[in-house]
Every structure is written in C-alpha cells, then in structure tokens.
Amino acid sequence: MTLDELNNLSAADAAAAFTSCCAAERWVDLMVASRPFSDTNELLKTAHSHWQTMAESDFLQAFTAHPKIGDVESLRAKYANTKALAANEQSGAQSASESVLLALASGNREYEEKFGFIFIVFATGKSAGQMLELLQQRLPNNRAQEIQNAADNQMQITDLRLKKLLGLVGG
C-alpha cells in the first residue's frame, strides 16, 4: 500500500490497517484522525508521538494482541529454521536447541506471572538464545520498568510493521 492509498482509505479501513501494526485502540484512533500524512517520515514521527501519549492500559491492550509464547510446540514452530520464516519478524532465528526452547517457555510463563502481561521484545534478527538472554535480563525488573521496556519494544515492532504496510521493507 502506498502512503497516498493509506491517506485515502475510509476511516474503518485505515483503522484496520493501523490495527495490523498496533492493537491499541486509542493509538489507532489518533493515527486515523491524523491523516493525511505528507510523507512517510511524518507518519512515523506521528506514530511515535502518539505512542508517547498512551497510558498503561493502552500499552497492555497492544501487548495482548501478540501471540503468547508459552508452549514448546509453539516455540519449535516459531524458531524452526525454514525459508518461510525468512520474511517474518523472527527472520534471524536459527534452529533452537530443545533446552533453549524449554527455558524460553518456562521464562515466558514466569514473566507473565510476575508482570501480568506477556514478554514483548523486538525480535527481528534475534535467535531463540538471544531472546532467552533478554528475557532473563528483564525478569529481575519491577513492573514499571517492564511496562516501559515492553512499550519501547512495542513501538519498534509498530515502526517495522508500518514500514512493511507501506512496502518500505520486505516481509
């Protein structure tokens, strides 16, 4: 989709497009209302600016739209070393060992129990081992730190998805 096409979508279709990038309804509403964008840089700056105005409830709403990583079968599929993964957000992931997958599943459950939301990380280019290392580094944090860490990572994810939506990057 081009920026011009995005600018000219109906409000409902624009909301659907923005929701595919970030599920926080308030952010989506602000993005729809901010159209038209003069260029991609304005779109991305506006996305970041609106994200900075979000409340914890908005962050949590965005987090819940992510698939939950908690069972080993899901993790095996996520980190399988196949060509199909080359275009998705875990494109840098190599085949992960069973012990890493089990530790990641366990760590994800522990994280969600401690913080009340799933582990959110900008995963592009990261292996399962790197994801596990980041998870272990963040587990000792307090909830306020993790809301901010997850929100920062969510914005990186949203930024990439907006670029993909407009065909600026592959995937």
Where are the domains positioned within the chain?
1-55+156-171, 66-140
Judged on CB neighbours under 10 Å (0-12, 13-18, 19+), 49 is: exposed
More confident residue, 82 or 3: 3
More confident residue, 86 or 65: 65
- 125 secondary structure, DSSP code: T
Q: Is the pLDDT of residue 85 over 80?
A: no
The amino acid at residue 63 is F
Q: Report how far residue 18's alpha carbon sits from residue 72's, in angstroms, rounded to the nearest whole number.
A: 31
**pTM score of the predicted model:** 0.84
Question: pLDDT-based confidence at 124, cuts 50/70/90?
Answer: confident
Q: Is the pLDDT of residue 102 over 90?
A: no
Question: pLDDT-based confidence at 83, cuts 50/70/90?
Answer: very low
Question: pLDDT-based confidence at 171, cuts 50/70/90?
Answer: low
Q: Report how far residue 30's alpha carbon sits from residue 97's, in angstroms, rounded to the nearest whole number.
A: 43
- Per-residue pLDDT at 97: 78
